[in-house]
Amino acid sequence: MRYFVHIAYNGLVYNGWQKQPGLTSVQAVLEKTLSDVFKMPVGIIGCGRTDTRVHASQFFFHMDMEQEWDFDLVFRMNKLLPHSIAVFDIIPVAAHRHARFDAVLRSYDYFLHTYKDPFLSNLSSFYLLDKLDFDKMKQAVALLPQYRDYRPFCTSPDKYEHTRCKVMTASLYVNERGDKLRFQISANRFLSRMIRIIMGQLLRIGKGEQSVDEFENYLIEKRTPEMLNPAHPQGLYLSKVSYPYLNLPPRPEFSSILQNEAELSWHQL
């Protein structure tokens, strides 16, 4: 029997989702926990691969289990897992359903703040900046759904069969004081470090180091920028994953406090 497992995690102490020899990953911790529970090796496949220190307020993985269980597996896993990983739901699905390949939409949020806050630094990226040009940044963000090939904004583009991504939505939000920024983007797929690279480009535009035309020319010409500096990882959240047969809302109790638009009075630019 195949199951989808709905989770969330704070990625600060992990070397990304995917298992890597000698490194601590979210996948490795979950597989060990499940193997301990069932007293047998359990492998899992995730809906994507987040980078080191990147978070997920919604994430799915699938696992195949021949044996049934007569206990509350959600409770058991949450009791054994570290505080940085939470399990919400375990959903039986057809045997051919796939957590990664069946996903039709992924949404990410990137948060940054421009003042020093020791309590926010693990949830949002800190950039000591002043007077960002939000209008120019908004113009650049509005261009993203108009283009399909994101070869300029990824690392190691040649490892992909193609670098086309269908960006459905892209928006920029700012709080009332103008010292917290939220970049939100949804697409059918994303390339390696694509969102962090785009965010780095937006910051350059906001600081006046690059024009909106230059940004668009990279997309038109499929040319990689000379300054390819990805934004810090800890501000990035995988925030929503949708399937044709499964569309669960993210659990608000594990979403970043920064995603509470009403509380922080986010204003779309």
Tell me the residue range of the domain where 143 lies.
105-246
pLDDT tens by residue, the chain, 269 residues: 999 999 999 999 999 999 999 999 999 999 999 999 999 999 999 999 999 999 999 999 999 999 889 999 999 999 999 999 999 999 999 999 999 999 999 999 999 999 999 999 889 999 999 889 999 999 999 999 999 999 999 998 889 999 999 999 999 999 999 899 999 999 999 999 999 999 999 999 999 999 999 999 999 999 999 888 999 999 999 999 999 999 998 876 555 555 555 455 677 77
Give the predicted TM-score (pTM) of the model. Answer: 0.92
User: In this structure, is residue 232 part of a structural domain?
Assistant: yes
- DSSP lists the bridge partners of residue 119 as none
In a shared domain, residues 109 and 89: no
User: In this structure, is residue 23 part of a structural domain?
Assistant: yes
Q: Pick from 46, 61, 93: which residue ends a domain?
A: 93
Query: Which phi and psi angles does 76 have, rounded to 5°?
Result: -65, -45
Cα four-point dihedral sign 122, 174, 109, 258? positive
- DSSP lists the bridge partners of residue 59 as 7
Catalytically annotated residues: 51
Domain of 55: which CATH number? 3.30.70.580
Q: Structurally, how many domains does the chain consist of?
A: 2
Domain of 221: which CATH number? 3.30.70.660
In a shared domain, residues 68 and 121: no
State the binding site for substrate: 108
User: In this structure, is residue 81 part of a structural domain?
Assistant: yes
User: In this structure, is residue 242 part of a structural domain?
Assistant: yes
Half-sphere exposure of 218 (CA within 13 A, CB side): 22
CA distance 105 to 121: 28
Cα 1–Cα 61–Cα 71 angle in degrees, nearest 5: 55
Residue 61: strand, helix, or coil:
strand
In a shared domain, residues 240 and 121: yes
In a shared domain, residues 145 and 69: no
Distance of alpha carbon 182 from its chain centroid, rounded? 13
Amino acid at 40: M
